[in-house]
Amino acid sequence: MTFTRQQLLHILSNLTRYKVPDRQTTFKIIMMAVQYHKNFKNYVSLDYTPNSHVYFIGDLHGQYEDMLHILQIIEDERLQSPSTPIQLVFLGDVVDRGYRSLETLLTVLCMQLLWPGRVHLLRGNHETEKISRIYGFFDECKRKHASAVVYLECLQLFQTLPVALILEYKESAPATEEQESQSSDITSTTVPPQISMFCKAEKPVVQSADAS
């Protein structure tokens, strides 16, 4: 069973008011996201033109208010040029450390399901069992749903997330076979190490790839 678009919008609206979905609703969102990600490769390939905007959002770490603020900035820019297509790329490390990791993750997943192909979530080193058990996400899931079941479902989701992004400019040469081969060598079930190409900046950042 899946949610309709209207139901997802209602859940998303409640999340922005800090209302965490019940366990069954949370489970369904995660399972829908798992099926969604299984349709894609282990990397995201995006085409970019001067007439589009790609926003990179990294290392939210459960800072839900920060994410809402960033999304509002993006929305304000979108309203200024509503015809310009946009893409959102969340660069992993969505969970841990902050107090609202579950809300942050579920919001991103709802956005992906509502706007498929326009919202992307990569896997960071905190989207692993080894790290998320230590830095707060495991405890948060137990606290908010009185069970570790939701956490185990999230671990299943994490294994389906892509681990790399290839951004191809329309004016440039297409991605080389070597680039795609290197990305293909890493599977979604590969556990990102603590120090590696997967690790990124500590603070949430938003950047518009605008060549104009």
CB-CB neighbours of 156 under 10 Å? 12
CB-CB neighbours of 125 under 10 Å? 20
Q: Which two tokens stand for residue 1?
A: 């069973």
Q: What is the pTM of this model?
A: 0.80
pLDDT level of residue 80 (50, 70, 90 thresholds): confident
C-beta of residue 22 within 8 angstroms of C-beta of residue 168: no
Q: What is the pLDDT of residues 39-58, one digit of tens each?
A: 888 898 888 888 888 999 99
Q: Which member of 53, 120, 126, 145 is catalytic? A: 126
Is 126 noted as a catalytic residue in this protein?
A: yes
pLDDT level of residue 85 (50, 70, 90 thresholds): confident
Q: How far apart are CA 38 and CA 55, in angstroms?
A: 23
Q: What is the pLDDT of residues 157-176, one digit of tens each?
A: 999 999 999 988 876 444 44
pLDDT value of residue 212: 38
- The percent of residues above 90 in pLDDT, for the chain, comes to 63
C-beta of residue 14 within 8 angstroms of C-beta of residue 21: yes
Range in 19-33, 64-78, 150-164, 198-212 with the lowest mean pLDDT:
198-212
pLDDT level of residue 209 (50, 70, 90 thresholds): very low
